[in-house]
Amino acid sequence: MLTSSQVADVCFTGERRARMRLAELYALDVLDRFRPRRGGSPVPFHWVLGPLGAALVAAEHGVEVADVAWRRRLVGDLAASQRLAHLVGTNGFFCALARSARTRTGCRLEEWWSERRCAAEWGEVVRPDGYGVWTEHATSLPFLVEYDNGTERLERLGRKLDGYARLAAAAGHTNWVLFSFPSPRREAEARRVLCHPVVPVATTARAGRGAPDGPVWLPASSTGVARVRLVELAGLSLAGA
């Protein structure tokens, strides 16, 4: 599910052109939409697959519509979900990477796994909010995402790392775990519980920072203040292996 601005990011089109295209797809039942209200004020439309869109995705993958996790009441369920902001935020993280990939030569978002797919793969061990592979030229970085909205206790965040350690042991290798926080204060508080002897962790605060492929990441083991670009974490992980 994406908002109109996120669709514009992915498609690298202007906001107005993206809205016009979305309206066309909505009229064709390729997409469906809803507009939740927060504090009595409308927010941008949120877009999901419509019945024709679900049928097209199913046909492309050679499966039934039921196998793509689409259902008619999806719009109502999402509009009422307490996790809506979290889902939109996580999708926005990957949309920002997709936009960077379209605007920077040699950059690609090779993989983007949703929370649902991650749960299907690793749910008995750990449940990240997403998994991705970011590539710049000859360097690729697999990573797992924890998109934090400041609602979980810090102790719970720290305990998640034991699950990531078990995943690393089962897979035979570690992946960077990226924690995205809503504010610098939340990031600073959380960093106290995010150092782990096995799991490489990097953090960022979304407020006032640039795209997630930029120099916004601070490894949890770092005692300095210099942040690194996303792809640079690949070199740090190799150095620490």
What pLDDT is recorded for position 5? 55
More confident residue, 190 or 72: 190
Q: pLDDT class for 44, splitting at 50, 70, 90?
A: confident
User: Which residue ranges does the chain devote to CATH 1.10.10?
Assistant: 2-81
b (16+ CB within 10 A) / e for 117-153 = ebeeebeebbebbbbbebbbeeeebbbbbbbbeeeee
Q: Would the pTM count as exceeding 0.75?
A: yes
Q: What is the CATH number of domain 2-81?
A: 1.10.10
User: Are the C-beta atoms of residues 213 and 97 closer than 8 Å to each other?
Assistant: yes
Question: pLDDT tens across 81-114, in order?
Answer: 888 889 999 999 999 999 999 999 999 999 999 9
Residue 78 CA to residue 49 CA, distance in Å, equals 12
pLDDT (tens digit per residue) in 110-160: 999 999 999 999 999 999 999 999 999 999 999 999 999 999 999 999 999
With cut-offs at 50, 70 and 90, classify the pLDDT of residue 191: very high
C-alpha–C-alpha distance, residues 231 and 238, integer Å? 12
Distance CA 131, CA 236 (A): 19
Q: List the one residue out of 43, 42, 70 whose CA is nearest residue 57.
A: 70
Q: What is the per-residue pLDDT for 241? A: 42
* H and E: helices and strands count for the chain: 9, 11
Q: Which of 46-50, 90-94, 223-227, 230-234 has the lowest mean pLDDT?
A: 223-227
Whether residue 212 contacts residue 180, with contact meaning beta carbons closer than 8 Å, is answered with: yes
pLDDT for position 129: 97
